[in-house]
Amino acid sequence: MTPFWSIFEAIIDNKVSPSQCRKSDKMIIEIVETFDLDEDKFRVGKRGQLLDITRADMVSFFGIQCGEEFVSLQYGCKEAVRFVMRRGIVDKRLTTTSLRQLLNQYIKGDEKDDIEDVASLLCLYLLHTFFS
């Protein structure tokens, strides 16, 4: 369970349609433009108050721990993803439908790998729904 579980659940239960979750390039640009490089913080509100987002905030907002390992932004192949190899996923492209099927298949497990794989699939499903 994460602070975002209600969003995951709404999408899984078809209470929110993908058309309601489309990304807005304008909104993303506006958010990025609020970052003040000199202050290394975001400027928010009408008065442009500085907002410092900490590791603790990330844990609170997203329910995830911040580690020491850097996230690679380079293109990767699915063979490099542990759960894809462990589960033998051969789909050329993951779609909303295939992600939903995988979630339904693995959500019943209670092993550590099952839990981690479902968390990864939920994140993929949510991002795919929001940004596709």
Same domain, 130 and 77: yes
Domain presence at residue 1: no
* pLDDT of 40 strictly over 80: yes
Domain presence at residue 90: yes
At CA 81, angle to CA 75 and CA 87, rounded to 5? Answer: 145
For 73-123, the pLDDT digits (tens) are 666 676 667 777 888 888 878 888 888 888 888 888 877 788 888 888 888
- The total of structural domains in the chain comes to 2
Domain residue limits at 41:
23-70
Chain center to CA of 131? 10
pTM for the predicted model, two decimal places: 0.46
pLDDT of res. 6: 74
Domain presence at residue 10: no
Domain presence at residue 94: yes
For 3-34, the pLDDT digits (tens) are 667 777 777 788 877 666 666 677 777 778 88
pLDDT of res. 22: 67
Same domain, 76 and 28: no
Residue recorded with tokens 């590791």: 55
Same domain, 33 and 59: yes
